[in-house]
Amino acid sequence: MNPQTEDPLAILRDMAKKAGSQQKLADKLGCKPAYLSDVINQRRNVTDKMLSKIGLRRIVVRVK
């Protein structure tokens, strides 16, 4: 996995598929299944905490 080019949503979808369900992945990540579903379906944003749990981090670049 290349953190610079990987899409967090694609990673979460793949992880849910490998886990067998979003419920199982939510349990593994320590979040509520409804929250995970909302993130995967783009109804909520991925938090820095969630990114950290899947091995990514957010980098913000400000340009003048």
How far is Cα of residue 14 from the mean position of the Cα atoms in its chain? 10
Task: Report pLDDT for 8.
Answer: 93
User: Residue 44: how many CA atoms within 13 Å on its side-chain side?
Assistant: 13
CA separation for the pair 34, 30 (Å, rounded): 12
Check: CB of residue 56 under 8 Å from CB of residue 29.
Answer: no
For the four alpha carbons of 40, 43, 53 and 19, in that order, the dihedral sign comes to negative
Check: CB of residue 11 under 8 Å from CB of residue 52.
Answer: no
Splitting the chain (64 residues) into consecutive groups of 10 residues, what average pLDDT does each group show? Answer: 70 96 96 96 94 91 94
